[in-house]
Chain A
Amino acid sequence: MRFTLNGAAVSLDVVGSRRLLDVLREDLGKTGTKEGCGEGECGACSVLIDGEVVDSCLVAVGQVEGRNVITVEGLAGPRGELSLLQQAFIEHGAAQCGICTPGMLLAAHVLLKKEQRPDADDVREALAGNLCRCTGYTKIIEAVLSCGT
């Protein structure tokens, strides 16, 4: 099967029923995508499929045939330059233990694509599917708001 991963074409010979999460982590070495629950509750496994945030623990890899998948590894620039959002996460202390960070970044990334100047409620809404146990969300919300243009 084929799909696009972080802008590059991928072709794989895998059982289509395997979880996208496992294929990304085990076959493609993209371990930035995390497993926090495996049941669609925590968002640690969030990836983008055609620009929408999806829990990759609930998606069979067969479903992404021909589609465009972005993981946290795809957020930085071609030479590894951090995106504004990534920089804001560091600057505002939005990543503590960091295990929720990849999912949070992707959810926030989509929000900022859709809404250039979100308010705090927009951010809370957009991140509601991503659990964080370290930050109380305050610094994450601040970081996302700082990227509004």
Chain B
Amino acid sequence: MLEYEIVVIGGGPAGMAAALSARNSGISRVLLVERAEVLGGILNQCLHAGFGLTYFGEELNGPQYAARFIKRIEQSDLKVLTSTTAVSLQGDGRVILSGSCGLLEIKAQAVILASGCRERPIGSLPVTGTRPAGIFTAGMAQKMVNLGGYNIGSKIIILGSGDVGMIVARRMVLLGKEVIAVIEKEAVCGGLLRNQIQCLEHYGIPLWTRCTISRIHGQERISAVTVQNLEDGREKYIECNTLITSVGLIPEQELAEEAVDGGAIPPWLFLCGNACYVHDLVDDVTSEAEHVGRKAAEFVKTLKQVGKDYKQAGSGMLEGDVQGAHQEQAPEEDPEKADIPQDKTQHIFCIACPKTCKLTPSSQGWEGTICGRKDPVVAVR
């Protein structure tokens, strides 16, 4: 079994920033794991500009933004494993990694989960009809077009006016495809105003608000959709050969759920980036992840101070006593430390971000506001 002080799962902007900041906070054994062949996460498929305005004070595209962090990582002594997937996160802090080199079991004192998010599938919506080929989620379409160089269709309808949907709409127009409309069920655009102007209005792509797709047509490949006006219920049959959906992003927290202990996130586990909640801007992802990297570093140092150095500890080192040790070191008046779950059954605190956000149990899992955001974040059950 290999041992690391901190293991960071996911090499997107969040994971890279967290790993670098943990290393810069004096932790020497940090491992960064990425499933893809290269670091960068979602940024690699974002060929458009619009990244780095607040963090670097200049406008970069996705790969350029990623490249700055990849360079810092190459210059550091961080251990990086690409083409390697974290397949299991055990309750005692062991991480199991799967890659071409084999199956690795890593013992970590702290784990930072920066696994990003996934797209909500169309199956979760009340859309009826057939299930033919030609339906893509926006991120999948973006990756196929921008990284795979594939031609995925020519007559396109986009469902959902999230940022990714609008960016993909513009990309398809730039590739010479016909984007019939972007369809949004709310009365206003779902994404940033900036994207509405730069991606839709500048390219004359219609945005149909208060509309939805009620039915999908086509036997083998999609041939049309029925668009329903939610105000008056009227329906319109619109021919297309491609449907791209951008109907929501869901944080990938399944590994954290595996490690959950009695309803609470264990103290050695930290979440950041889109794995914690979905961010609009990568700059925010980076700064928050740097903060999380520092907090994870502090946590590991605290363990050392109380003599729980991982090298001496037995295999069950992260069970029970660590939490106690951690609480000893965390006087109640210290706001920075208030993120330890005090009462597992009552509420848990978001341990990821700078603010002390609180999550309370609900029928849906955990709910609450995180970082001043109004939309409830369903965190670890």
Answer whether A and B are interacting partners.
Answer: no
Residues of A within 8 A of B (CB): none
